[in-house]
């Protein structure tokens, strides 16, 4: 199963909450989003229906236009359905809500790549790179640092800075003992940014992870 958005999987940064601790999701939107989840993880004997989930999440985000998690899930399922145009619009809204979230900038860059707008994509990859670089100066947690360095490396590759990006990946591999982290890093080793983007586009980057099994690291970037 293809789950796109860079940095929504593996060792990536995931916005698993709302953009503000004071923000309260509108109840009607939450009910619709919960209903969408049932189509993605159906009961035994029932079929997965991503289109039904997308339809419900669209309704939820129309009711609550600030519903970050609703948009994130909508984007994920739009990518499963290969709705690149719809996913681009969703990524734009996510970035409007959290413009300083590097994950969302990277995601928007990839969506532009999927829609063959390489000029716009580079703008958001560069912004994401700048934010990740600043984050590294503030983090002490080893796992968080691994995630941010990995994300920084990928954005360097997306910007065609191959040697810089690959050098970071190799350094991380040399210092990482966790087999899952190593597997994720090896996936991008010796690949160009374009090759990695094509992996995301075709779903080759992850065929086994469920949308309900995404690891989560919450960072307050606002």
Task: Please report the pLDDT score of residue 142 as a whole number.
Answer: 78
pLDDT at 103 over 70: yes
Which secondary-structure segment (H or E) carries 59? helix 50-63
Band of pLDDT at residue 184, cut at 50, 70 and 90: confident
Which one, of 80, 85, 119, 88, lies nearest residue 104 by Cα? 88
pLDDT at 19 over 70: no
User: Which is higher by pLDDT, 12 or 204?
Assistant: 204
Task: Please report the pLDDT score of residue 202 as a whole number.
Answer: 79
pLDDT at 104 over 70: yes
Percentage with pLDDT > 90 across the chain: 67
Which CATH architecture fits 27-202? Alpha Horseshoe (1.25)
Band of pLDDT at residue 220, cut at 50, 70 and 90: very low
Band of pLDDT at residue 17, cut at 50, 70 and 90: very low
Question: Residue 46: which residues within 8 A CB-CB, separation 6 or more?
Answer: none
Which residue has 């989930």 as its token pair?
53
Beta strand residue intervals within the chain, DSSP E: none
pLDDT at 144 over 60: yes
Band of pLDDT at residue 219, cut at 50, 70 and 90: very low
Specify whether the CB–CB gap between 153 and 136 falls below 8 A: no
Task: Please report the pLDDT score of residue 33 as a whole number.
Answer: 96
Band of pLDDT at residue 205, cut at 50, 70 and 90: low
Separation of alpha carbons 209 and 87, rounded Å: 20
Range in 2-11, 81-90, 118-127 the model is least confident about: 2-11
Q: What is the pTM of this model?
A: 0.82
pLDDT at 8 over 80: no
The domain spans of the chain are: 27-202
Band of pLDDT at residue 181, cut at 50, 70 and 90: confident
pLDDT at 209 over 50: no
């Amino acid at each position: 199963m293809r789950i796109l958005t860079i940095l929504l999987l593996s060792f990536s940064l995931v916005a698993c909450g709302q953009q503000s601790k004071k923000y309260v999701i509108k109840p009607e939107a939450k009910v619709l989003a919960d209903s969408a989840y049932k189509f993605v993880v159906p009961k035994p004997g029932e079929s997965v229906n991503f289109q039904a989930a997308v339809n419900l999440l669209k309704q939820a985000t129309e009711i609550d236009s600030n519903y970050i998690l609703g948009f994130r899930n909508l984007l994920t399922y739009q990518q499963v359905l290969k709705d690149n145009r719809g996913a681009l619009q969703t990524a734009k809204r996510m970035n409007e809500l959290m413009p300083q979230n590097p994950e969302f900038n990277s995601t928007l860059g990839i969506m532009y790549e999927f829609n063959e707008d390489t000029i716009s994509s580079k703008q958001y990859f560069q912004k994401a790179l700048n934010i990740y670089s600043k984050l590294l100066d503030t983090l002490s947690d080893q796992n968080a640092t691994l995630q941010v360095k990995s994300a920084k490396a990928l954005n360097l590759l997306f910007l065609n800075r191959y040697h810089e990006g690959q050098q970071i990946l190799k350094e991380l591999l040399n210092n990482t003992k966790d087999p899952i982290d190593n597997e994720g890093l090896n996936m991008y080793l010796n690949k160009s940014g374009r090759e990695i983007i094509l992996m995301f586009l075709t779903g080759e980057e992850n065929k086994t992870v469920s949308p309900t099994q995404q690891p989560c690291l919450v960072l307050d970037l606002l």
